Structure 1
Amino acid sequence: MNEILNKLLELKDDKYKLFISKLVPTVNIDNFIGIRANGIRSIVKQYIHSDYAKDFLNDLPHKYYEENILHAAFLSQEKDNFDRAVEGCERFFPYIDNWAVCDTLSPEVFAKNPEKLLEKVKEWIRASTWVSRFALNMLMRFFLEDNFSPEIIKIALEADTGEYYVDMGLAWFLSYALVHKYEETLPYIESRKLPKSVQKKTIQKAVDSFRISEERKTYLKTLR
């Protein structure tokens, strides 16, 4: 058993295991250890620059949900090498099996390379469920403010909808787009051409936001 897995097992919390397993239903309960977020963060801080982390990242597949969360967290620490970050993500993609791991993954270096990232997002957006959701996450995190163009929404809409976690990822993206780029996003909601589940969830998330005016919320409710 490797050093990092030993450390994870030392942090086992059976009550938290029951709690988190209910939030991540696509993972069997036997594949949870039960570790709180601060425990994962402490391991990242302790091991990120060690050979143990390098060995851990090369040791796929992992058994436990928390190992995959940690893997995503380690990859997200990449600050300098874009190509290495992409390689790490693409090597890890086949082993992502839940929304929490998918949404944890976000290499810091991507923020410094929006043009190169966008080209990769165009490849990922129509891929498998979790890769497509990851691509939507990248559009939401890095392209709705400084790097925005009308193309961004069109790329997001290329996601292969019809799968629950992709649909929810797209709704999440569109609700953020309504916050940051309301005028540019609204026509897509008004057209009512989105899948019904995406339309409904987008509006729900927008209405729940503190960053959208009451006037706009009232209008969005008419588009449900």
Structure 2
Amino acid sequence: MREEILRELKELAESDYKEFNSSLIPGVDKDKTLGVRVPLVRKTAKKAARKDWEKLLSELENCPQEAGGVGGTALYYEEVMLQGMVIGAAKMDAERRLSYIERFIPRIDNWAICDTFCGDLKFADKEENRQLVWNFLQPYLSDEREFFVRFGTVLLLSHFVDEEHIDSVLRLMEGVRHEGYYAKMAVAWTLSVCYVKFPEKTEKILRNGSLDNFTQNKTIQKIRESYRVSKEDKQRLNLLKRK
């Protein structure tokens, strides 16, 4: 099945988009990207999820992500993204999906794969799965690996910034201590979304000195970039930036 999917993706590839997209994702080998736009990858993934998705995921899981690996030709960037999308779209129970997710997370090595994957895990929004997913993501927030931390953080951002969880989300974000750029940026992004939805609660975090300087300033920057925050609030928050 992988050969069939790869053939479809290559037919959708655009050379100009390949150059543009590769420039936005540090660390991704341009030679292992095709140049397929995300909506088209998602459309292909949804179609694949209605077929023999178990066989496809098995084939993809057994392919190396890096050149020189054991198991076949190294995956293209879009194939890794599609793998995550199929995990999110295929019909299966929550426990089994979490098993696939757990095996997929080590393949996340850039912000684009991480953020797209987290956003596509819609099963996390179903009431019967909320506590299960909440418990599942907790260890990732304190992991030593940068993109494991980003995964846990963006999953919170994508599915748990709500009235029920906001106090816990803010407390968890205060506790993230990973020094990696993409982990810190994920925390800043999450806090900026928290501010838009729960400004008073989130501003307390910005005033209590619990964040490191980088995260504090990036959070304020991202809040100030939002069209849903008033000019007055932006001016007040700007005074909380650190040198």
- Give the whole-Å Cα distance in 2 for the aligned partners of 1:146 and 1:86: 25
2:183 is equivalent to residue 166 of structure 1: yes
Cα RMSD over matched residues?
1.7
Distance change in 2, residues 1:211/1:168 (3 Å):
same
- Give the whole-Å Cα distance in 1 for the aligned partners of 2:177 and 2:27: 19
- Give the whole-Å Cα distance in 1 for the aligned partners of 2:147 and 2:22: 18
Paired position in structure 1 for 2:124: 110
Mean alpha-carbon deviation: is it higher for 166-175 or for 5-14? 5-14
Paired position in structure 2 for 1:134: 151
Deviations 1:8-42 (CA, angstroms, capped at 9, x unpaired): 12222211111110011111111111111232133
Deviations 1:90-129 (CA, angstroms, capped at 9, x unpaired): 1001111110000011321111122122111211111221
Unaligned runs of 5+ in 2: 66-74
Of 90, 94, 108, 2:106 maps to 94
**Residue identity opposite 1:24 in structure 2:** I
Tell me if structure 1 keeps the 8 A contact 2:142–2:178.
Answer: no
Deviations 1:151-204 (CA, angstroms, capped at 9, x unpaired): 221112332331000010000000011111111111211123312111111001
Paired position in structure 2 for 1:36: 37
Distance change in 2, residues 1:202/1:125 (3 Å):
same
Paired position in structure 2 for 1:81: 93
Tell me if structure 2 keeps the 8 A contact 1:192–1:223.
Answer: no
Of 213, 220, 230, 1:203 maps to 220
Tell me if structure 2 keeps the 8 A contact 1:174–1:185.
Answer: yes
**Residue identity opposite 2:36 in structure 1:** I
Deviation at 1:2, TM superposition (A): 1.8
Unaligned runs of 5+ in 1: none
Tell me if structure 2 keeps the 8 A contact 1:21–1:32.
Answer: yes
Tell me if structure 2 keeps the 8 A contact 1:133–1:165.
Answer: yes
- Give the whole-Å Cα distance in 2 for the aligned partners of 1:192 and 1:222: 13
Deviation at 1:133, TM superposition (A): 0.8
Of 159, 178, 183, 2:200 maps to 183
Paired position in structure 1 for 2:12: 11
Distance change in 2, residues 1:36/1:92 (3 Å):
same
- Give the whole-Å Cα distance in 2 for the aligned partners of 1:209 and 1:27: 29
- Give the whole-Å Cα distance in 2 for the aligned partners of 1:123 and 1:136: 11
Distance change in 2, residues 1:123/1:64 (3 Å):
same
Tell me if structure 1 keeps the 8 A contact 2:50–2:90.
Answer: no
TM-score between the two structures when normalised by the length of structure 2:
0.86
Paired position in structure 2 for 1:125: 141
- Percent of pairs with identical residues: 31
Tell me if structure 1 keeps the 8 A contact 2:146–2:182.
Answer: yes
Tell me if structure 2 keeps the 8 A contact 1:79–1:109.
Answer: no
SS of residue matched to 1:125: helix
**Residue identity opposite 1:116 in structure 2:** L
